[in-house]
Each structure stands twice: as structure tokens, then as C-alpha cells.
């Protein structure tokens, strides 16, 4: 597990209530509930930015803190189409060819 730090934030009463409900329902402490929500939020953020065409699939994987293969599988499971153009594909193939020489 990565080193953890303490962060103070202000939340609305509704958000605090939801965190408490999630913690109770999942039988976890509130800190764990918040950490899990943050992890899910990172994935959602990465998905939405990728779908908007604002980030690459590599950047989406980085934001979501997932291996590239996992984010690709997740996108496939969710029916999210690739933002790669034929030019991107050909450029990537050319780079791979140069590396393998």
C-alpha cells in the first residue's frame, strides 16, 4: 500500500451522510469509504475525459492508476470506442517498427 497522508476537506452534510451510509452498508470505516470513493472517482474522471476526447488512453490509465491493458478492457466492457485515428495507429506502428530494428 502506498504511503498515506492526511488531508482536511469540507463536505456538505449530504456528502457526509452518504459516506456514513456507504461505510455502514459496506461494513467499513469512513476513511476506507472515502478512499474507495476517490478511487472510483479517478476511474470515472478518466473515462469521462477520454470519452470527451480530452485525454489519451495512456493518460486515462495513468489518472485511473490502472495498467493500460485494464483500462482498455474496462473501455471495451463499457462499449467505449477508441479515440485513435488511422494516423495515430500508423504513427504508433512506425515507432514500434523503429524500436524493433
SS3 letters across 14-83: HHHHHHHHHHHHHCCCHHHHHHHHHHHHHHHHHHHHHHCCCCCHHHHHHHHCCCHHHHHHHHHHCCCCCC
Q: What is the reported pTM?
A: 0.76
**Scanning the structure block, which residue is given the C-alpha cell 452518504?**
18
Give the pLDDT of residue 4. Answer: 87
8 Å CB contact between 81 and 74: no
Give the chain's residues under pLDDT 50. Answer: none
Amino acid at each position: 500500500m502506498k504511503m498515506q497522508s492526511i488531508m482536511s476537506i469540507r463536505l456538505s452534510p449530504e456528502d457526509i451522510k452518504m459516506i456514513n451510509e456507504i461505510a455502514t452498508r459496506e461494513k467499513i470505516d469512513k476513511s476506507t469509504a472515502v478512499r474507495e470513493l476517490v478511487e472510483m472517482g479517478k476511474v470515472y474522471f478518466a473515462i469521462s475525459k477520454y470519452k470527451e476526447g480530452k485525454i489519451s488512453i495512456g493518460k486515462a490509465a495513468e489518472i485511473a492508476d490502472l495498467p493500460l491493458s485494464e483500462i482498455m478492457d474496462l473501455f471495451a466492457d463499457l462499449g467505449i470506442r477508441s479515440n485513435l485515428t488511422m494516423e495515430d495507429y500508423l504513427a504508433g506502428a512506425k515507432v514500434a517498427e523503429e524500436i524493433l530494428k
